[in-house]
């Protein structure tokens, strides 16, 4: 990523690193320990998760504001305690899933940092949310507890904070300047780079649909000292596009398949 404000060098002959989007979520229920363990066993270079705060201010890996889509429960995550969420089944909804407990960020960090090879964890803070800036504050406290909140350089950071919220990215950059940050989006704010510049983001994260329409985005980001993280890349043609353009990270629901494709692309 970015070291001391200087852009990481991305070789045109290199290939993107593979980030498992919510784990190996094309095969197993998203945001479950099994999905992340599978992604790691498939050789993913990074893991991606979404985080939300519970009513008792615990960080859990859940994408939606409510739990209906990915559990057997009903209600808003922010209105439920960790104990209440722990009573729900977050795995059986998926055709290939079995019963699974809610995954805390604490447990995912433990899995990531204890893995037998270095893996980066891309943590997306969701906004707007009931607790506002408390999400980033709690996240940074947890990263410091695990010893990864103040890396010696962003190049060697095991955690990357990503968000669609420019304010969220700015809060992280202000409090933990060596942590890599990625401003997500597919609007002119990101394409023009003004928002990323204003908040000091070390990378931008366009959707793959945006990248298809604006292939010069990667070069423009690199010229401004930023890397590109593209989501969600599940098709061979898009993998080839990202490789051709010099995208640094591709987030995918199918890490094993994308890794196999990257062996064959020029």
With 90 as the cut, is the pLDDT of residue 177 above it?
yes
pLDDT reported for residue 153 = 87
| pLDDT on residue 133 | 96
- pLDDT confidence of residue 189: 72
The answer to whether the bond into 194 is cis (omega within 30° of 0) is no
Confidence of residue 9 (pLDDT cuts 50, 70, 90): very low
Q: How confident is the model at residue 3 (pLDDT cuts 50, 70, 90)?
A: very low
> Taking residues 191-202, what's their average pLDDT?
89
pLDDT bin (cut points 50, 70, 90) of residue 10 is very low
With bands split at pLDDT 50, 70 and 90, how would you rate the model's confidence at 11? very low
Catalytic residue among 21, 31, 94, 254: 21
The model's confidence at residue 4, banded by pLDDT at 50, 70 and 90, is: very low
Is domain 17-67+103-264 in CATH 3.20.20.190, yes or no? yes
Digit-coded pLDDT (tens) for 47-65: 999 999 999 999 999 999 9
Say whether pLDDT at 7 is over 50: no
Q: How far is 169 from 191, CA to CA, in rounded Å?
A: 17
pLDDT of 5 above 90: no
Q: Is the predicted pLDDT of residue 13 greater than 90, yes or no? A: no
Pairing of strands 120-125, 46-53: parallel
pLDDT bin (cut points 50, 70, 90) of residue 266 is: confident
Predicted pLDDT at 191: 77
Mean pLDDT, the chain, rounded, equals 93
Q: Is 63 a catalytic residue?
A: yes
| Confidence bin at 34 (pLDDT 50/70/90) | very high
Give 262's pLDDT tier (boundaries 50, 70, 90): very high
Scored b (16 or more CB within 10 A) or e, 199-237 reads bbbbbbbbbbebbeeeeebbeebbeeebbbbbbbbbeee
- Cβ contacts of 216 within 8 Å, gap of 6 or more: none
Annotated catalytic residue 31 = no
Instruction: Decide which of 14 and 103 is more confident.
Output: 103
Q: Which of 106, 127, 120 is nearest to 151 (CA)?
A: 120
State residue 263's pLDDT score. Answer: 95
Among 54-58, 215-219, 221-225, the range with the most confident prediction by mean pLDDT is 54-58
Residue 194 pLDDT > 90, yes or no?
no
- Which residue out of 57, 63, 127, 156 is catalytically annotated? 63
């Amino acid at each position: 990523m970015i070291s001391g404000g200087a852009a990481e060098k991305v070789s045109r002959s290199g290939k993107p690193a593979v980030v498992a989007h919510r784990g190996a979520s094309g095969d197993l229920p998203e945001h479950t320990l099994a999905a992340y363990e599978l992604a790691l066993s498939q050789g993913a270079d990074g893991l991606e998760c979404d985080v939300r705060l519970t009513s008792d201010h615990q960080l859990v890996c859940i994408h939606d504001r409510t739990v209906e889509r990915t559990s057997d429960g009903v209600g808003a995550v922010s209105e439920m305690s960790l104990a209440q969420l722990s009573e729900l089944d977050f795995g059986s909804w998926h055709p290939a899933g079995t019963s699974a407990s809610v995954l805390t960020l604490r447990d995912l960090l433990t899995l990531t940092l204890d893995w037998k090879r270095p893996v980066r964890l891309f943590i997306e803070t969701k906004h707007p949310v009931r607790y506002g800036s408390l999400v980033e504050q709690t996240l940074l406290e947890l990263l410091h507890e695990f010893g990864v909140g103040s890396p010696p350089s962003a190049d060697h950071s095991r955690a990357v904070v990503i968000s669609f919220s420019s304010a969220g990215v700015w809060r992280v950059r202000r409090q933990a300047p060596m942590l890599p940050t990625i401003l997500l989006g597919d609007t002119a704010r990101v394409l023009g780079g003004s928002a990323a510049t204003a908040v000091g983001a070390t990378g931008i994260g366009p959707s793959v649909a945006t990248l298809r329409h604006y292939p010069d985005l990667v070069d423009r980001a690199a010229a401004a000292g930023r890397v590109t993280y593209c989501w969600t890349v599940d098709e061979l043609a898009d993998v080839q596009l990202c490789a051709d353009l010099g995208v640094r990270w591709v987030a995918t629901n199918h890490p094993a398949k994308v890794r196999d494709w990257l062996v064959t692309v020029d």
